[in-house]
A and B are shown apart, each in its own frame.
Chain A
Amino acid sequence: MKENWWKIFASVLVLYSLVGGLLIEVPALPILHESIRNLYYHVPMWFSMILLYLISVIYSIKYLGSGSINHDLLAVESVNTGIVFCFLGLGSGMLWANITWGDYWPNDPKLNGSAISTLMYLAYLVLRNSIDEEQKRAKISAVYNIFAFPVMIVLLFILPRMTDSLHPGNGGNPGFGGYDLDKKMRLVFYPAVLGWMLIGCWIMNIRYRLRKLEDVDNAL
């Protein structure tokens, strides 16, 4: 149980954000109304995805240095888990967009950027499956991953800031860090982000261990 403390910590944080996110008072803003609470649930999905992709790229770099197959497995399972969070973010975002912006997919640079980066990471998984030889697959996909990560950051955080975007914090819009995110909201938002990030790492950890067991089975 001692080594599992962070899993319990993560669960408690997310549970707190689920309960607090619905009960704690939020500022009454036009258009958003109660849907501002989606901030506690939609945004942590993306933050978790970015953390998992970051872990993935770190292990890809490590793999190129060490050649250890475990590093490669960690990289691929991070992306596998990150993709799940990405689709959860996309789905929840589309529902929210339909209510506040009037369309499931308004022509917003951040949305289109996220679509491209999703395809990029799906391509990473396809690329892996297309190469049979283990060392070659690991090396090529590690290099691809190192290129994909900065492009994802540019598509999600830099390009939307340079044009008009519906998302807060982009294209001259004030971010939630400005006047919208008041003290009470931070109290729920930050624990939610940390909690979901840890849950993402937990799922990734389980997938990695399973993959390692499969790998041992295949080698026998």
Chain B
Amino acid sequence: MKKLLSFFVLILITLRVSSQEIEMATGLRSSGKIYVVISVIAVIFIGLVFYLFTIDRRVKKLENKE
């Protein structure tokens, strides 16, 4: 009887563990605020790319002068 009881307790514990939800950023997604983060990142990256293009152009100008 004791064995059986402990067996059931063990099963219950494993069920509890396996049904535990893995925490993901659902709150940030559902409130729509993730889009703010994404647009901030996009703005920064686009800015850096433009900067890289201007550096590229300046080098080209120097090359043409030579």
Contacts and interface: CB of A to CB of B under 8 A. Distances in A.
Interface of A: 4, 7, 11, 14-15, 18-19, 22-23, 28-30, 33-34, 202-203, 206, 209-210, 213, 216
A213 B55 CA distance: 14
Interface string B10-47: 00000000000111110000000010011001100110
A33 B24 CA distance: 6
Interface of B: 21-25, 34, 37-38, 41-42, 45-46, 49, 52-53, 55-56, 59, 62-63, 66
Contacts, number: 50
B42 A19 contact: yes
Given A18-B45, A28-B24, A33-B24, A206 B38 contact: no
By Cβ-Cβ distance, the 4 closest A-B pairs, closest first, are A28-B22, A11-B49, A34-B25, A209-B59
> Taking chain B's interface residues, is the majority helix, strand, or loop, or is none over half, making it mixed?
helix
Contacts of B53: 7
7 contacts: A7-B53, A22-B38, A34-B24, A34-B25, A209-B59, A213-B63, A216-B66
A63 to B, nearest CB: 22
